[in-house]
Structure formats: structure tokens, C-alpha cells
Amino acid sequence: MSSFNEFLTSQVGRKILTGITGILLLFFVIFHLIGNLAIFGEADEMNRYSLFLHDFGPLLWIARIGLLIALVLHAYIGLSIWWNRSKVRPEKYNVYSSKGGPSKQGLSSRSMALTGVVLLVFLVLHINTFALGDTATVMIDGREASDLKTLVIDTFQNPVYAFGYTLVMILLGTHLSFGVWSSFVSLTMRNSSKLSPVIYSLGVVLAVALAVGFLFIPLYIYFTGGCGELISGYNCV
């Protein structure tokens, strides 16, 4: 345990763990968006996808625990870096100072701690609303499943949820636009390589795509009442 604590507090260890956990969380965000977009598939596609995940049983819980550990480590290291640097340079915060190559510091990098905290609080509320929320049940292939699709549509007809979710997804894009590149630098320990600007640009594109993908869902549901042509199988009144 002492060796892990030393690794966790060392500069190299923090960079490696930040990079690994950041990449793991990025893949989670990507796959989560894919699952969310199932709401635009066939009538029972989203509920079928949810049932598919639950069929993994204990493996699903192992994955959840792994993601939780990654999230806690990522948040702890990120906030500890912010705290230490704010004590040294209270007037300014940068996630990682760079040596060589053009600076990547900007709004995204300077707000990493703030957007990270907001996303962490949002995740708790998100889990409470959708993963732990009360849902009706539907029959899929003769099996009983939670009607997650109806819960999502009913929830996003509330303007507080719809526009609050949209705002947080913009912050997610802001966080990822620097975070993807930062994870690459953390894992490779290189900032001035030829791939660095390419990774940074791809990170920004990916961040925008993910943010737009996520925020499109609540806005489409809110403005169409869940009865738009892209959504089928919802009981519109």
C-alpha cells in the first residue's frame, strides 16, 4: 500500500494514472452516448439495449466498480493538482504546464477543476434519476424489462432537466476538449512530438461531437414532446 501511495503522490505516477483513468472514462462516455442514441432506433431498441447490459450480471457490476474507482482516482488526482497549484499560484490555474511546442492553455484547461466538479455532481444526480429512478416495465421477447425509454422522454419534457442537462453537456465538451490531449501527454510524457497538435485537434473534434450528441437528445425530446419523427413507440397524448 505504501508503494502505491508513493506512486500516487509522485509526479510521474499522477500523470500516468490521470492519463489511464481519463482514457477509460472517455471510452465510457463514448459507449454511453451510443446507448443513449438507441432512443432513436426501433420502438424497443433502448430498453433492449438496457436489458442486454443487465444480462452481463456480475460482470456489469465489476465494470461499474472499475469505472467508479477510475472516476474517484481521476477526480482526486485532478483536484489535488489544482489545490497544490492554487496555493503556489493562486491567481492562475493550469492543469499541466507545458515545455516545448505551442501552449495548449485556454478556457478548457483553466476550467478543468470547475468543470470536473460540476460533472461529478451531475453524475450523482444522473444516476439517481435514471439508474435508480422508478420505471414502469415492458415485455421484450417475453422478458420483463425496465421502460427506460419512457423515463428518459418523460424526464426531458421538464425544462429544468432538458436545459440543465444541455448546459452540463456543454461543460463536458469543454472538459474533454483539453482532457483528451492532456491524457495523451500524461501517458506518453511528451508534449512537443509531431502527434501532439494532431491529438489536440482530434480531441477538440471528438469533444464537440460527444457534447452535440448528448445535448441533442434532451433538446429534441423537449421541443417535440417525445413525438418527433426520429422517435418511435412513445405513447404520445
Going residue by residue through the chain, which has 237 residues, state the pLDDT in tens, using 9 for 90 and above.
567 667 667 777 788 888 899 999 999 999 999 999 999 998 899 999 988 988 898 998 899 899 999 999 898 888 887 787 777 655 544 444 444 455 556 677 788 888 999 999 999 999 989 888 778 888 888 888 889 999 999 999 999 999 999 999 999 999 999 888 888 877 776 666 677 788 888 889 999 999 999 999 999 999 999 998 999 877 776
In order of start, what are the domains of the chain with their CATH numbers?
2-224 (1.20.1300)
Phi, psi (degrees; rounded to nearest 5) at 145: -140, 155
* Cβ contacts of 95-100, under 8 Å, gap ≥ 24: 95/178, 95/182, 96/15, 96/182, 96/185, 96/186, 98/185, 98/191, 99/191, 99/192, 100/191, 100/192
DSSP-assigned beta bridge partners for residue 145: 138
CA 94 vs. chain centroid, Å, equals 21
Length, in residues, of the chain: 237
